[in-house]
C-alpha cells in the first residue's frame, strides 16, 4: 500500500530539519477503488482507480504552511515541503499551533478485511444486477442513474517531527443508489439510499425493492395544507440538518471563535434529557469514521458529548487543546467520509463515529403515537450551522394521520431551529440506522415544526 | 506528454479496443484564507492519466498517478479487461455519436496570469483586506479567502482528436459572522471567474469584506419573512441557481433518460414565453469556461428553452448516440481519475426588457431576494435555493424592511411559468459554488433579474 513511501517520509523529515524547518508532519493517504456504475436498467462503466498522495505541514516559529502532491518521490515531497516552508515564513503566528506528540495508539482490529479487499469486480457486477432486479420487480417505470457500488481499500500513515509514526488500512463496501420513476404524465422525485458495510453483506435486491417502492410513491405524491406539528426524521434527515449542526456546535474551534451556539453552555442542559450524543470510534457496528488515531495522529477515544441532555465536553484537535492547555480528544479531521484525503490539512474538528443513542419506542409505535404529522426521509435546504436555523424542502415525505402513514406528499417546506428541536423531542426509536455511512442514529420525532406548502 | 498519449492510444488499438481515449490532467489548487486572523494556505497538485476503453458495447475506465508510458499501458490493459468482463452482462450496448476530430490548443482568457503573482503578494493582499473587519464591532468571526485553480489537460483518442486545454479560475470570498448576545448571523459574498488576477481589481477583497459585514449586521436584527407563496424579484445569483439546479439538471441527457421532467417534451411549451435558457461553453469570463469537453468535443451553445419551448438537451457522445442528437460538448471530468459525465458549463436565463424599477412595480407587493447560500433540485423540477437576504417590496418600491434570506422552493417549471418579467442586465456569478453531481465541476450561472412567484420556507 505505502511501498517505500514511509521510508521516503522519514528521509523528508530529516531534510526538513536540515533546512531549518522547526517541525514537519507528513500525511500519506492511499485510496484504491473498484467501482461499478448503474445506469437505466443496466450496468454502466467499470472503473478502477488508485492513488497515493501526501500532504506536508510545516510549523515554523508559530506559523503554518501546507502543500500536497501525488508525486511520491523524495524530490517531489521535499519540493512540497520547501513550498510549505515559504508559506509558513510569510504567515502570522497562529495561537496554539502544534503537532501531535508521540503516544500509544490503541489497536483497532476488524477494519481491514483481506477477503473483501480482494473481491473480484464480477461480484460487484452481480450486486449491481441484484439492485436492478430489485427495483425493476416493483415497476417497469423505474430507472436508476448516477448509482454506483464501490469497493474501497484505503490507508493512512502519519509521521511527524515529534516521533509520531502511525498507520492503518481499512476496507469498505459502499453504495450510493438512486431510483426515479416516471411515465408520460409525470416525473417522480429522486429517491436515494446509501449503504455501507465492512463485509459484503448487503442484500441489494431488497435495497432495490425498497427504493423502487419509494420511487413509485414519488409518482403518487399529494399536496398538503399548511400545519404545525410533529415531524419524524428518518436517518438521512437526522444527519442533515440535525447531526451536522450538533457536530459543529461541539467543536472547540467554533467555541473559541465564538460561533458555536453552545459556546457558553458547557455542563448546561442544552437538550431534552433523552438526548445522548456519543463518539464511538472503536465500535465496529458504526460508520466509516471508525479509527484509532485522528488526522493528526492523536489517539481517539469514546466520548460522551451530550449526556441526559447536558453538554459534557467540546471536541479538540491539537491546536484548540493547546490553546486551553488541555489534551486533544482525537477529533482532528481532514475530510468528510470514509476515504482519506491528502489534499486537505486537518482544519475541521468532528466526532469520528457519532452515535445518537436509541430510545424506548419502536418505529411503529412512534408512528402510531402521531395524530397528525409527517415522516421525512431527507431534508434539502439551507442550514445556518452557527445559529441552527434551517429552512428547506422535505423529500420522501409521507403524511401520518391518526397513527398511520397515509399518503406520500410533495411541495412540503419545513423550517425551524435545530437547537430548539432537540428540546422538543417527543420520541426516539429503538432501532438504529446508519446515515450517510457516518452517523448511527435512531429515528426521532420533533414537535412544533412549521410545515409550509404550495 | 502528447507523445505518451498517442503511444498509449496505439497500444489500445493493438488490444482490439473498439474505441480508446486517454486524458492527462495536472490540476493545481490553492486556497489562501484568514479565519479571524489565522492565515493558512492549502496548496497542491494532483496529476495523472486515465483511459476509457470501449469493447463490445461495454466501457472500462482506469487511472494512474504515473505519467510513464509503461503505467499507461497497464491501465489500458486494466480498462480493457474491465470492459471485456462486463460486455456479457451489459444489456444495452454503448456506442458513441460521431463528432468532428480536432487538434487544437485552447487557453482561457487572462490578463495577469495567476502563476505570475507570488505567494507573498497573495498573502499580503489578505492581510491588508482583513483590516476592514476591525471597523465592525459586532463581527465576531470572519473568513477572508482567495482560491485558484490552474488546470492543464490533454485528451486524445483513436479517431484523431488531440486537444490541449489550459484554464485558470480565481475566486475571492468573504464571510462575516455577526454576533450579539444570543443572536448569530452569517453572510457570505464571493466572485469566481475564468480569468487572471485582474478579478481582484474588479472585486477587491476589502470591498467584499465590507459588503459581507454590513449584510451580516442587517441580518442580525432581521427575521425570516412569512412563509408560503410570494411574489418576488430574484437577483442574478439565485436566478442562476434555479437555471442550473432545477432546469439545467433536468435537461442533462443522462437525467432525461432516467425520467426527468423534461423527458419527451422537446417542442412543448414548458414555461412562460418570456423565458429563454442557454448553456454556453464560453461566455465572456464565465467560470464554466470549456472550449472543448473532456471527450475532445468542441462545445456548442445550447438553447435549452427558447421563448418558453423546450428545444434541446445537454449531452455527451454516448447520450447523443442513444438519443439521436448532435453532441453538445458537455462531457466533463473534474480530476484525472474522474470519468467524464454530462455536466453544465455557463447556464443562464437570457435577459429580458425590463429595468429593476419596472420589475418591482410589476411585483407590487413582495420581496427582492438577494445573495445565495446553496441550492439543490431533483429530476421532477422541484428545487430549493437558500438566499442571503430579502428586502420588502411595497407598492412597487423597495422599503427599508429587511428579512433574513429565506429558502425558495417550488417546481421550477411552475415558477418560470409565473414569470412576470425579466431584467435587461445579464450577470453570471454563483460565487464559490461548484456543481456536485457525483464529482465536482466549476460552473457558472446567472441571468437577468426575474419577477415571479415562489414558495418561501419562511418563519
Q: Which of B174, B195, B38 is nearest to B117 (CA)?
A: B195
A231 or B407, which is more confident?
A: A231
Q: Please write the tens of the pLDDT for every residue from B301-337.
A: 999 999 999 999 999 999 999 999 999 999 999 999 9
What's the start-to-end Cα distance of chain B, in Å?
Answer: 57
Q: How far is CA B367 from CA A186, B391, B416, B418, B421, in A?
A: 31, 5, 17, 15, 15
User: From the DSSP assignment, how many helices (H) and strands (E) are in chain B?
Assistant: 10, 22
Q: Are residues A62 and A150 in the same domain?
A: yes
3-class secondary structure per residue, B25-84: EEEEEEEEEEECCEEEEEEEEEEEEEEEEEECCEEEEEEECCCCHHHHHHHHHHHHHHHH
**Percentage of the residues of chain A whose pLDDT score is greater than 70:** 100
Residue A210 sits in the same domain as residue A231:
no
Q: Do A159 and A230 sit in the same domain of this protein?
A: no
Q: For residue B214, what are the domain limits?
A: 2-221
Contact B39 A92 (CB under 8 A): yes
Nearest partner of A186 among B264, B261, B416, judged by Cα? B261
* Rounded Cα distance, A40 and A167, in Å: 41
Last residue of a domain, one of A181, A197, A217: A217
Residues 6+ apart with CB under 8 A from A405: A367, A375, A398, A399
Q: How many CB atoms lie within 10 A of CB B3?
A: 8
ipTM for the complex shown: 0.90
Do A41 and A161 lie in one domain? The reply is yes
Pick the last residue of a domain from A190, A217, A244. Answer: A217
Q: Which residues does B220 contact at the CB level (< 8 Å), separation at least 6?
A: B138, B178, B179, B180, B183, B185
Question: How confident is residue A120, by pLDDT bands cut at 50, 70 and 90?
Answer: very high
Q: Do A135 and A57 belong to one domain?
A: yes
CA angle B414, B420, B424 (to 5 degrees): 120
- Write the pLDDT tens digit of every residue in A349-371: 999 999 999 999 999 999 999 99
A375 & A279 share domain: yes
- pLDDT score of A454: 65
Evaluate if residue A452 carries a pLDDT over 80. no
The verdict on A282 and A155 lying in the same domain is no
In the prediction, which pLDDT does A381 show? 81
Q: Is A374 exposed, middle or buried (0-12, 13-18, 19+ CB in 10 A)?
A: buried
Structural domain ending residue among the three candidates B221, B250, B274:
B221
Nearest to B49 by CA among B105, B82, B8, B77: B8
Mean of pLDDT values over A220-235: 89
B89, B120, B179: residue with CB nearest A125: B89
Residue ranges of B 233-262 with Cβ closer than 8 A to chain A: 254-255, 257-261
Count: domains in chain A: 2
Specify whether the CB–CB gap between B367 and B232 falls below 8 A.
yes
Helix (H, G, I), strand (E, B) or coil at A144: strand
Residues B206 and B308 in one domain: no
Residues A144 and A241 in one domain: no
Q: What is the pLDDT of residue B183?
A: 81
Q: Using the predicted structure, report yes or no on whether residue B372 has a pLDDT greater than 80.
A: no
Cβ pair A28, A6 in contact under 8 A: yes
Give the one of A39, A66, A190 whose C-beta lies nearest to B40's C-beta. A66
Does residue A195 have a pLDDT over 70? yes
Please report, in angstroms and rounded to a whole number, the separation of the first and last CA atoms in chain A: 54
What local confidence, expressed as pLDDT, does residue B458 receive? 60
Cβ pair A189:B90 closer than 8 A: no
* Mean pLDDT of all residues in B371-378: 80
- Please tell me the distance from the alpha carbon of residue B405 to that of residue B44, in angstroms, as a whole number: 35
B213 and B328 share a domain?
A: no
A374 and A406 share a domain?
Answer: yes
Please give the C-alpha separations between residue B131 and each of A63, B85, B124, B125, B141, in angstroms, as whole numbers.
19, 61, 11, 11, 13
Which residues make Cβ contacts (< 8 Å) with residue A95, sequence separation at least 6? A319, A323, B38
Whether residue B243 is found in the same domain as residue B193: no
A55 pLDDT above the threshold of 70: yes
Are the beta carbons of B62 and A391 separated by less than 8 Å?
Answer: no
What pLDDT score does A392 carry? 83
pLDDT tens digit sequence for A71-108:
999 999 999 999 999 999 999 899 999 999 999 998 89
> What domain range includes position A43?
5-217
> How many residues are recorded in chain A?
454
Mean pLDDT of B31-45: 92
Give the pLDDT of residue A423: 97
Same domain for A279 and A363: yes
Candidates B35, B128, B270, B457: best to mutate against A (most CBs of A within 10 A) is B457
Option in A64, A190, A387 nearest B40 (CB): A64
Q: What residue has cell string 522519514?
A: A10
* Euclidean distance between CA atoms A102 and A127, whole angstroms: 43
**Backbone φ, ψ for residue B114 (5° rounding):** -60, -30
Closest by Cα among B115, B130, B120 to A90: B120
Checking if the pLDDT of B61 tops 80, the result is: yes
Co-location of B103 and B68 in the same domain: yes
Grid coordinates representing A5 are 513511501
Same-domain check for residues A200 and A262 = no
Contact criterion met (CB below 8 Å) for A89 and A53: no
Q: Are residues B233 and B337 in the same domain?
A: yes
Which pLDDT score is estimated for B437?
A: 85
Are A240 and A200 members of one domain?
no
How far off is chain A from B354, nearest CA to CA, in Å?
28
CA gyration radius for chain A?
24
Amino acid at each position: 500500500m505505502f511501498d517505500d513511501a514511509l521510508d521516503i517520509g522519514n528521509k523528508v523529515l530529516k531534510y526538513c530539519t536540515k533546512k531549518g524547518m522547526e517541525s514537519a508532519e507528513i500525511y500519506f493517504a492511499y485510496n484504491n477503488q473498484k467501482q461499478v456504475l448503474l445506469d437505466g436498467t443496466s450496468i454502466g462503466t467499470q472503473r478502477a482507480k488508485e492513488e497515493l498522495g501526501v500532504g506536508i505541514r510545516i510549523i515554523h516559529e508559530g506559523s503554518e504552511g501546507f502543500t500536497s502532491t501525488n508525486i511520491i518521490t523524495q524530490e517531489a515531497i521535499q519540493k512540497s515541503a520547501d513550498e510549505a516552508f515559504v508559506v509558513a515564513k510569510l504567515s502570522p503566528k497562529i495561537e496554539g499551533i502544534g503537532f501531535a506528540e508521540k503516544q500509544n495508539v490503541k489497536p483497532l482490529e476488524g477494519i481491514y478485511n483481506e477477503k473483501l479487499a480482494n473481491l473480484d469486480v464480477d461480484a460487484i457486477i452481480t450486486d449491481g444486477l441484484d439492485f436492478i432486479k430489485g427495483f425493476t420487480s416493483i415497476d417497469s417505470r423505474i430507472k436508476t442513474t448516477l448509482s454506483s457500488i464501490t469497493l474501497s481499500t484505503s490507508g493512512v500513515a502519519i509521521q511527524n517531527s515529534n516521533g509520531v509514526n502511525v498507520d492503518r488500512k481499512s476496507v469498505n463496501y459502499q453504495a450510493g443508489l438512486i431510483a426515479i420513476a416516471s411515465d408520460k404524465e409525470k416525473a417522480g422525485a429522486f429517491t436515494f439510499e446509501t449503504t455501507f458495510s465492512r463485509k459484503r453483506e448487503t442484500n441489494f435486491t431488497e435495497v432495490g425493492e425498497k427504493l423502487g417502492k419509494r420511487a413509485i410513491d414519488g409518482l403518487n405524491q399529494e399536496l398538503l395544507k399548511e400545519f404545525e406539528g410533529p415531524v419524524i426524521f428518518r436517518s438521512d434527515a437526522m444527519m442533515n440538518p440535525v447531526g451536522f449542526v450538533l457536530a459543529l456546535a461541539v467543536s472547540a474551534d467554533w467555541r473559541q471563535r465564538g460561533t458555536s451556539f453552545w459556546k457558553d453552555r458547557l455542563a448546561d442542559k442544552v437538550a431534552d434529557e433523552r438526548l445522548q450524543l456519543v463518539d464511538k470510534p472503536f465500535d465496529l457496528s458504526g460508520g466509516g469514521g471508525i479509527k484509532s488515531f485522528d488526522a493528526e495522529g492523536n489517539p481517539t477515544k469514546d466520548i460522551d458529548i451530550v449526556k441526559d441532555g447536558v453538554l459534557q465536553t467540546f471536541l479538540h484537535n491539537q491546536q484548540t487543546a493547546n490553546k486551553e492547555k488541555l489534551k486533544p480528544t482525537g477529533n482532528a479531521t481532514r475530510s468528510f467520509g470514509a476515504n482519506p484525503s491528502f489534499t486537505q490539512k486537518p482544519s475541521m474538528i468532528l466526532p469520528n463515529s457519532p452515535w445518537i443513542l436509541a430510545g424506548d419506542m419502536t418505529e411503529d409505535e412512534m408512528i402510531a403515537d402521531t395524530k397528525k404529522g409527517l415522516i421525512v426521509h431527507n431534508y434539502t435546504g439551507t442550514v445556518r450551522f452557527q445559529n441552527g436555523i434551517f429552512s428547506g424542502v422535505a423529500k420522501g415525505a409521507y403524511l401520518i394521520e391518526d397513527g398511520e402513514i397515509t399518503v406520500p406528499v410533495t411541495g412540503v417546506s419545513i423550517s425551524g431551529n435545530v437547537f430548539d428541536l432537540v428540546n422538543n423531542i417527543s420520541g426516539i426509536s429503538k432501532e438504529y440506522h446508519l446515515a450517510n455511512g457516518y452517523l448511527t442514529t435512531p429515528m426521532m420525532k420533533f414537535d412544533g415544526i412549521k410545515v409550509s406548502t404550495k | 506528454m502528447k507523445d505518451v498519449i498517442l503511444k498509449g492510444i496505439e497500444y489500445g488499438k493493438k488490444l482490439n479496443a473498439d474505441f480508446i481515449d486517454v486524458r492527462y490532467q495536472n490540476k493545481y489548487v490553492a486556497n489562501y484564507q484568514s479565519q479571524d486572523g489565522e492565515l493558512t494556505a492549502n496548496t497542491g497538485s494532483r496529476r495523472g492519466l486515465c483511459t476509457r476503453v470501449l469493447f463490445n458495447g461495454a466501457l472500462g475506465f482506469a487511472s494512474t498517478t504515473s505519467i510513464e508510458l509503461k503505467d499507461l499501458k497497464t491501465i489500458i490493459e486494466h480498462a480493457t479487461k474491465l470492459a471485456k468482463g462486463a460486455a456479457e452482462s451489459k444489456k444495452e450496448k454503448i456506442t458513441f455519436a460521431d463528432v468532428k476530430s480536432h487538434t487544437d490548443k485552447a487557453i482561457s482568457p487572462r490578463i495577469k496570469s495567476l502563476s505570475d503573482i507570488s505567494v507573498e503578494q497573495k498573502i499580503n493582499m489578505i492581510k491588508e483586506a482583513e483590516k476592514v473587519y476591525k471597523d465592525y464591532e459586532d463581527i465576531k468571526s470572519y473568513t477572508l479567502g482567495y482560491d485558484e485553480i490552474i488546470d492543464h489537460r490533454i485528451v486524445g483518442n483513436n479517431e484523431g482528436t488531440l486537444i490541449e486545454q489550459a484554464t485558470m479560475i480565481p475566486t475571492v470570498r468573504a464571510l462575516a459572522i455577526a454576533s450579539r448576545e444570543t443572536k448569530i448571523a452569517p453572510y457570505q459574498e464571493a466572485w469566481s471567474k475564468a480569468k487572471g488576477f485582474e478579478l481582484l481589481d474588479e472585486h477587491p477583497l476589502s470591498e467584499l469584506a465590507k459588503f459581507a459585514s454590513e449584510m451580516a449586521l442587517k441580518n442580525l436584527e432581521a427575521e425570516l419573512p412569512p412563509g408560503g407563496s410570494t411574489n418576488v424579484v430574484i437577483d442574478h445569483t439565485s436566478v442562476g441557481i434555479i437555471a442550473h439546479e432545477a432546469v439545467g439538471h433536468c435537461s442533462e441527457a443522462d437525467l432525461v433518460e432516467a425520467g426527468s421532467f423534461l423527458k419527451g417534451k422537446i417542442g412543448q411549451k414548458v414555461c412562460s414565453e418570456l423565458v429563454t435558457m442557454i448553456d454556453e461553453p464560453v461566455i465572456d469570463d464565465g467560470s464554466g469556461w470549456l472550449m472543448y469537453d473532456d471527450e475532445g468535443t468542441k462545445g456548442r451553445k445550447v438553447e435549452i428553452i427558447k421563448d418558453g419551448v423546450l428545444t434541446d438537451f445537454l449531452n455527451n457522445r454516448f447520450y447523443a448516440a442513444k438519443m439521436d442528437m448532435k453532441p453538445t460538448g458537455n462531457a466533463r471530468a473534474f480530476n484525472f481519475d474522474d470519468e467524464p459525465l454530462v455536466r453544465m458549463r455557463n447556464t443562464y436565463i437570457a435577459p429580458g426588457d425590463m429595468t429593476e424599477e419596472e420589475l418591482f412595480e410589476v411585483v407590487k407587493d413582495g420581496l427582492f431576494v438577494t445573495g445565495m447560500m446553496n441550492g439543490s433540485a431533483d429530476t421532477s423540477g422541484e428545487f430549493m435555493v437558500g438566499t442571503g437576504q430579502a428586502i420588502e417590496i411595497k407598492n412597487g418600491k423597495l422599503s427599508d424592511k429587511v428579512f433574513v434570506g429565506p429558502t425558495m422552493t417550488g417546481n421550477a417549471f411552475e415558477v418560470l411559468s409565473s414569470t412576470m418579467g425579466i431584467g435587461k442586465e445579464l450577470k453570471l456569478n454563483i460565487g464559490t459554488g461548484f456543481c456536485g453531481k457525483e464529482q465536482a465541476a466549476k460552473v457558472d450561472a446567472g441571468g437577468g433579474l426575474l419577477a415571479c412567484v415562489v414558495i418561501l420556507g419562511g418563519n
